[in-house]
Amino acid sequence: MNVVVDQTDVNQLDHTAHKSFWNEHRSMFELVKSSDSEIDEEHPPTGGFMLWAGDNYLNALIIYNWYLSRVAGNECAILWDMSDDGEYCVWVGIYGEWPDYYLELKRVE
Protein backbone atom coordinates (compact mmCIF):
# COMPACT_ATOMS: atom_id res chain seq x y z
CA MET A 1 0.00 0.00 0.00
CA ASN A 2 1.32 3.44 -0.90
CA VAL A 3 -0.08 6.48 0.81
CA VAL A 4 0.96 9.87 -0.51
CA VAL A 5 1.01 12.68 2.02
CA ASP A 6 2.26 16.24 1.86
CA GLN A 7 3.24 18.85 4.46
CA THR A 8 -0.39 19.89 4.96
CA ASP A 9 -1.41 16.30 5.74
CA VAL A 10 1.50 15.76 8.13
CA ASN A 11 0.74 19.00 9.95
CA GLN A 12 -2.64 17.53 10.96
CA LEU A 13 -0.96 14.71 12.88
CA ASP A 14 0.81 16.70 15.59
CA HIS A 15 -0.68 19.12 18.09
CA THR A 16 2.43 20.83 19.49
CA ALA A 17 5.95 21.63 18.30
CA HIS A 18 8.84 23.00 20.32
CA LYS A 19 12.55 23.52 20.13
CA SER A 20 14.04 20.31 21.47
CA PHE A 21 14.69 19.93 25.19
CA TRP A 22 15.23 16.14 25.04
CA ASN A 23 18.87 16.47 26.07
CA GLU A 24 18.02 18.62 29.10
CA HIS A 25 15.16 16.33 30.26
CA ARG A 26 16.32 12.91 29.05
CA SER A 27 14.63 11.02 31.90
CA MET A 28 11.28 12.32 30.68
CA PHE A 29 11.50 10.42 27.36
CA GLU A 30 11.83 6.79 26.32
CA LEU A 31 13.37 6.08 22.91
CA VAL A 32 10.99 4.00 20.79
CA LYS A 33 12.57 4.15 17.32
CA SER A 34 15.61 5.87 15.87
CA SER A 35 16.95 6.41 12.37
CA ASP A 36 20.53 6.43 13.61
CA SER A 37 22.17 3.86 15.89
CA GLU A 38 24.18 6.67 17.51
CA ILE A 39 21.05 8.28 18.96
CA ASP A 40 20.42 6.91 22.44
CA GLU A 41 18.48 7.76 25.57
CA GLU A 42 21.53 8.24 27.74
CA HIS A 43 23.13 10.81 25.43
CA PRO A 44 20.38 12.36 23.31
CA PRO A 45 21.40 14.92 20.72
CA THR A 46 21.19 18.62 21.39
CA GLY A 47 19.27 20.84 19.03
CA GLY A 48 16.51 19.91 16.66
CA PHE A 49 12.81 20.16 17.40
CA MET A 50 10.05 18.00 18.78
CA LEU A 51 6.50 17.31 17.58
CA TRP A 52 3.88 15.74 19.87
CA ALA A 53 1.52 13.30 18.14
CA GLY A 54 -0.77 12.07 20.90
CA ASP A 55 -1.06 8.42 21.84
CA ASN A 56 -1.42 7.11 18.27
CA TYR A 57 1.83 5.40 17.18
CA LEU A 58 0.81 5.46 13.52
CA ASN A 59 0.60 9.28 13.58
CA ALA A 60 4.09 9.44 15.09
CA LEU A 61 5.41 6.96 12.52
CA ILE A 62 4.03 8.99 9.60
CA ILE A 63 5.52 12.21 10.99
CA TYR A 64 8.84 10.41 11.58
CA ASN A 65 9.02 8.98 8.06
CA TRP A 66 7.90 12.21 6.39
CA TYR A 67 10.51 14.38 8.10
CA LEU A 68 13.16 11.70 7.73
CA SER A 69 12.64 11.56 3.97
CA ARG A 70 12.11 15.30 3.39
CA VAL A 71 14.05 17.32 5.93
CA ALA A 72 16.04 15.55 8.59
CA GLY A 73 18.52 13.54 6.56
CA ASN A 74 19.18 10.60 8.84
CA GLU A 75 18.41 12.08 12.26
CA CYS A 76 14.94 11.42 13.54
CA ALA A 77 13.51 9.54 16.52
CA ILE A 78 10.18 8.51 17.96
CA LEU A 79 10.02 9.04 21.70
CA TRP A 80 7.46 8.22 24.37
CA ASP A 81 6.88 11.26 26.57
CA MET A 82 6.46 9.81 30.06
CA SER A 83 4.67 12.85 31.46
CA ASP A 84 1.32 12.39 33.18
CA ASP A 85 -0.61 12.28 29.90
CA GLY A 86 1.92 10.03 28.10
CA GLU A 87 2.13 10.35 24.34
CA TYR A 88 4.40 9.95 21.33
CA CYS A 89 6.82 12.67 20.39
CA VAL A 90 8.95 12.86 17.24
CA TRP A 91 12.40 14.43 17.52
CA VAL A 92 13.70 15.87 14.24
CA GLY A 93 17.37 16.74 13.81
CA ILE A 94 17.17 20.15 12.19
CA TYR A 95 19.85 22.46 13.50
CA GLY A 96 20.37 26.21 13.51
CA GLU A 97 17.87 28.89 14.46
CA TRP A 98 14.47 27.67 15.60
CA PRO A 99 12.11 28.60 12.78
CA ASP A 100 9.53 31.27 13.56
CA TYR A 101 6.88 29.03 12.10
CA TYR A 102 7.82 25.37 11.89
CA LEU A 103 5.03 24.52 9.43
CA GLU A 104 6.91 26.43 6.74
CA LEU A 105 10.02 24.25 6.93
CA LYS A 106 11.27 23.27 3.51
CA ARG A 107 13.90 20.78 2.53
CA VAL A 108 17.32 22.42 2.43
CA GLU A 109 18.97 21.47 -0.85
**99, pLDDT greater than 80:** no
- State how far the alpha carbon of 95 is from the alpha carbons of 3, 61, 75, in Å: 29, 21, 11
Average pLDDT, the chain: 83
Rg (CA), the chain: 13
- Is a pLDDT exceeding 50 seen at residue 107? no
How far is it, in rounded angstroms, from Cα 80 to Cα 2? 26
Q: Is the pLDDT of residue 108 over 50?
A: no
What local confidence, expressed as pLDDT, does residue 57 receive? 97
Please state whether beta strands 16-19 and 87-92 pair in parallel, antiparallel, or not at all (unpaired): unpaired
More confident residue, 88 or 95: 88
**Residue 96 pLDDT grade (very low, low, confident, very high; cuts 50, 70, 90):** low
Is the pLDDT at 104 greater than 60? The verdict is no
Q: Is residue 64 classed exposed, middle or buried when 0-12, 13-18 and 19+ CB atoms within 10 A define those classes?
A: buried
Q: What is the mean pLDDT of residues 9-16?
A: 87
pLDDT in tens, 40-87: 888 888 888 899 999 999 999 999 998 888 775 678 999 999 998 899
Residues contacting residue 65 through CB under 8 Å, at least 6 positions apart: none
